[in-house]
Structure 1
Amino acid sequence: MSVEVRVDPGRIARLLRLRGGRVERKLRERTARIARIAEAEAPGAMGRYIDWDIREGPRGLEGVITCDHPAVTFVLNGTRPHLIRPRRRNGVLRFEAGGHAVFTRLVRHPGSKPNDFLGRALRMGR
């Protein structure tokens, strides 16, 4: 009795990359888990702006996590000390400090340290 097995690596690779296949399901699970970690690690309400998707990339399927918050670049990279002025010419800035409303024409912001919550979520989700 004789048995012959032939393995076609190209066919196996195509089978693994099929939409809805085992690899996509595992990639979907892992991407969703990392996105949940990123939501928890994000400061303030920034976690509500996090979304994820599975896309076709140059080397096959890839999980993509995005944050559409307008200040995400400043949070990820940090900021140097800077001045904050009102947008209107004779306007004032209003914010809460110590439970009281404060009105002023100029704020000297001390800057902020970088907070790479997306990178941290990726490392924690591995």
Structure 2
Amino acid sequence: MSVEVRIEPGRIARLLRARGGIAYRRISARTERVARIAEGEAPGSMGSYISWKVQEGPRGLEGVIVCDHPAVHYVLSGTRPHLIRPRRAKALRFEVGGEVVFTRLVRHPGTRPNNFLARALRLGR
């Protein structure tokens, strides 16, 4: 999943696109700002999986923010209610109110979508 910030340079495209040029520095600053906001908005340790870069795209320079956490799709889209069963053991083990519980089945209620990347893009303007 990536969030892109794009700019289309005008007549002096070669000067603006050059690494260290005006457009490159502005896009880098903005992309980095949005990435830092996304790190703060991301749930749990997901923020440590966020990286950013500036690259040449089909319409000029673009800033790309990437979160490559294995569960990012489930966080952004949410999940429906589902059953959780043990894969390698006979039972699941977890704590409820400080008490250890073993069970063969958990009815997970699902999660609401948390589109922290879009929220970071809105806040980073």
Report the Cα distance in structure 2 between the residues aligned to 1:56 and 1:91, rounded to whole angstroms. Answer: 52
C-alpha displacement of 1:27: 0.7
Partner of residue 115, structure 2:
116
The secondary structure found in structure 2 opposite 1:15 is: helix
Matches within 5 A, 1:1-126: 10=11, 12-88=12-88, 90-126=89-125
Report the Cα distance in structure 1 between the residues aligned to 2:50 and 2:74, rounded to whole angstroms. Answer: 16
Summarize the Cα distance change of 1:98–1:45 in structure 2 as closer, same or farther, 3 Å threshold: farther
Give the TM-score, by structure 1 length. Answer: 0.84
Give the TM-score, by structure 2 length. Answer: 0.85
C-alpha displacement of 1:103: 2.5
When the two structures are aligned, how many residues end up with a matched partner? 116
> What runs of 5+ residues in structure 1 fail to find an aligned partner?
1-8
> What runs of 5+ residues in structure 2 fail to find an aligned partner?
1-9
The secondary structure found in structure 2 opposite 1:79 is: coil
Deviations 1:15-70 (A, max 9, x none): 11112211101111111110010010011111111111111211121111011111
> 1:94 is aligned with what amino acid?
R
Partner of residue 6, structure 2:
none
C-alpha displacement of 1:106: 1.0
Summarize the Cα distance change of 1:64–1:99 in structure 2 as closer, same or farther, 3 Å threshold: farther
Q: Report the aligned-residue RMSD.
A: 1.5
